[in-house]
């Protein structure tokens, strides 16, 4: 009986042993499958499309995404290939946001203020009248909490933003008449996006949002009376000196205009960590490189406009600038009062602005004043 009982227990034990073995075998195979899947993802090749709001290969703005594409391809050794499409090649210039959001393409490049009708607070991540310079907005976005706010704004649209370049301080724009007071602004139809356009409208002007590639024709045909674009480097390339006489500064409306890369979140989440890092690093490199390009190129282009094309360089009267400043403050406060998302971003913007202005008063501002006085004395 004892032996028989022992044999039965042995049979049960054997069955349990076999079941346990099969279970371990199954779990091991699942683990192997997971490892294989992870390995496949890690070494999978990716092909992305990047659409822009700029003409293909346009100096500065249009070449920034091209350089980004080249960097990503080189650093990933071809594992992530990004193909760039200029405005109208894949989607219209103003269709970039929706194309990235919907997943029709993986990436976009443009200016956040183009989407103010969809995300009003996004304008703070482009150019704000009398706002941040290029260095200041880079510091706010990258080190002052701005990027996290920006990400929160775009997340409902299934997108991730990254800084994508900066033009530095822009010019006010091109006119065919002199601007001596706000009366000269009234009734003037001018290409003017973002918060700056709202200020221009409150001052009596008529702002319109036209893609860059259509601006020359719009000026030539009289569709608009004046044009705000970027600065000497880009304006010379578009030939605005052929359709306008007067070139006004300063660019109070865009003191340090940041551009953006937008990434579809599903596409972003599909990338392994090392490719995500490559995208971040490439975007950061392009962000600085574009500012360097404008700082170097605007100088030469401005001299060409004045000496070779007889452009009349003019400074806006101080009282006009002061009027624009007062209107700007009113518009920003009103926007923040009526939109909680704008309020959240604006509060961060104002706090950082107060801090950076306080330091720059004894640093950059003081130095530039000293350098200017030194030049005048000599």
User: 281-315 pLDDT, tens per residue?
Assistant: 999 999 999 999 999 999 999 999 999 999 999 99
Please indicate, yes or no, if residue 154 is contained in any of the structural domains. Answer: yes
The arithmetic mean of pLDDT across residues 355-371, rounded, is: 95
pLDDT for 87 equals 97
- Cα angle: 172, vertex 178, 183; to 5 degrees: 90
SS3 59: coil
88 half-sphere exposure, CB direction, 13 A CA radius:
9
With a cut of 50, say whether residue 94 has pLDDT above it: yes
pLDDT for 6 equals 36
Q: Within a 10 A sphere around the Cβ of 262, how many other Cβ atoms? A: 27
Please indicate, yes or no, if residue 112 is contained in any of the structural domains. Answer: yes
User: 53-68 pLDDT, tens per residue?
Assistant: 999 999 999 999 999 9
With a cut of 70, say whether residue 26 has pLDDT above it: no
Q: Within a 10 A sphere around the Cβ of 19, how many other Cβ atoms? A: 10
> What percent of the chain clears pLDDT 70, i.e. is strictly above it?
88
Report how far residue 309's alpha carbon sits from residue 211's, in angstroms, rounded to the nearest whole number. 25
Of the candidates 177, 173, 222, 230, the residue with the CA atom closest to the CA atom of residue 200: 173
Please indicate, yes or no, if residue 310 is contained in any of the structural domains. Answer: no
Under 8 Å between Cβ of 268 and 155: no
With a cut of 90, say whether residue 260 has pLDDT above it: yes
Looking at the DSSP bridge assignments, the partners of residue 263 are: 107, 160
With a cut of 70, say whether residue 343 has pLDDT above it: yes
The arithmetic mean of pLDDT across residues 314-330, rounded, is: 97
Residue tagged 């950076």 (tokens): 356
Report how far residue 49's alpha carbon sits from residue 100's, in angstroms, rounded to the nearest whole number. 10
Token pair, residue 222, equals 């009289």
User: 127-184 pLDDT, tens per residue?
Assistant: 999 999 999 999 999 999 999 999 999 999 999 999 999 999 999 999 999 999 999 9
pLDDT bracket for residue 374 (50, 70, 90) = confident
List b or e across 79-118, with b for residues whose CB sees 16 or more CB atoms inside 10 angstroms: bbebebbbbbebbebbbbbbbbbeeebbbbbbbbbbbbee
Domains of the chain: total: 1
Looking at the DSSP bridge assignments, the partners of residue 78 are: none
User: 269-278 pLDDT, tens per residue?
Assistant: 999 999 999 9
Please indicate, yes or no, if residue 55 is contained in any of the structural domains. Answer: yes
SS3 302: helix
pLDDT bracket for residue 43 (50, 70, 90) = confident
pLDDT for 40 equals 61
DSSP state of 82: E
SS3 259: strand
With a cut of 60, say whether residue 321 has pLDDT above it: yes
pLDDT for 10 equals 46
pLDDT for 16 equals 46
Q: How high does pLDDT run on average in the chain? A: 91
pLDDT for 51 equals 98
pLDDT for 121 equals 98
Strands (E), the chain: 46-52, 80-85, 107-110, 159-166, 173-175, 189-191, 206-208, 226-227, 246-249, 258-264, 312-315
Please indicate, yes or no, if residue 325 is contained in any of the structural domains. Answer: no
With a cut of 90, say whether residue 24 has pLDDT above it: no
With a cut of 50, say whether residue 89 has pLDDT above it: yes
Under 8 Å between Cβ of 294 and 231: yes
pLDDT for 41 equals 61
Please indicate, yes or no, if residue 32 is contained in any of the structural domains. Answer: no
pLDDT for 376 equals 73
Please indicate, yes or no, if residue 76 is contained in any of the structural domains. Answer: yes
Which helix H or strand E contains 124, and what residues bound it?
A: none
pLDDT for 60 equals 97
Please indicate, yes or no, if residue 372 is contained in any of the structural domains. Answer: no
We report the CATH number of the domain holding residue 148 as 3.40.190.170
pLDDT for 57 equals 94
Domain residues for 62?
45-166+257-294
């Amino acid at each position: 009986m004892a032996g028989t009982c022992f044999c039965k227990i042995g049979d049960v034990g054997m069955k349990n042993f076999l079941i346990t073995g099969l279970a371990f075998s199954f779990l091991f195979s699942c683990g192997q499958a997971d490892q294989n899947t992870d390995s496949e993802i890690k070494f999978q090749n990716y092909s992305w499309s990047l659409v822009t709001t700029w003409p293909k290969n346009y100096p500065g703005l249009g070449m920034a995404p091209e350089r980004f594409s080249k960097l990503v391809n080189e650093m990933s050794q071809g594992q992530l290939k990004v193909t760039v499409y200029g405005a109208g090649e894949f989607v219209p210039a103003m269709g970039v946001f929706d194309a990235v959001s919907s997943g029709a393409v993986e990436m976009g490049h443009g200016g956040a203020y183009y989407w103010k009708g969809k995300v009003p607070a996004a304008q703070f991540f482009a150019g704000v009248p009398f706002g941040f310079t290029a260095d200041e907005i880079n510091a706010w976005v990258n080190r002052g909490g701005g990027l996290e706010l920006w990400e929160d704004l775009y997340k409902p649209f299934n997108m991730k933003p990254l800084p994508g370049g900066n033009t530095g301080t822009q010019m006010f724009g091109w006119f065919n008449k002199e601007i001596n007071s706000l009366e000269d602004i009234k009734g003037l139809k001018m290409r003017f996006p973002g918060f700056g356009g709202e200020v221009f409208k409150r001052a009596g002007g008529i702002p319109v949002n036209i893609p860059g590639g259509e601006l020359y024709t719009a000026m030539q045909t009289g569709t608009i009376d004046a044009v705000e674009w970027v600065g000497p480097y880009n304006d010379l390339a578009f030939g605005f000196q052929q359709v306008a006489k007067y070139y006004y500064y300063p660019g109070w409306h865009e003191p340090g205009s940041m551009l953006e890369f937008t990434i579809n979140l599903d596409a972003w989440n599909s990338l392994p960590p090392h490719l995500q890092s490559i995208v971040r690093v490439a975007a950061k490199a392009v962000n600085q490189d574009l500012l360097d390009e404008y700082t170097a190129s605007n100088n030469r282009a401005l001299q060409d406009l004045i000496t070779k094309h007889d452009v009349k360089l003019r400074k806006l009267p101080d009282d006009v600038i002061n009027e624009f400043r007062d209107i700007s403050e009113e518009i920003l406060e009103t926007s923040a009062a009526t939109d909680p998302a704008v309020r959240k971003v604006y509060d961060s913007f104002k706090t950082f602005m107060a801090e950076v202005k306080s330091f720059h008063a004894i640093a950059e501002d003081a130095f530039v004043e000293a350098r200017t006085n030194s030049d005048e004395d000599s």
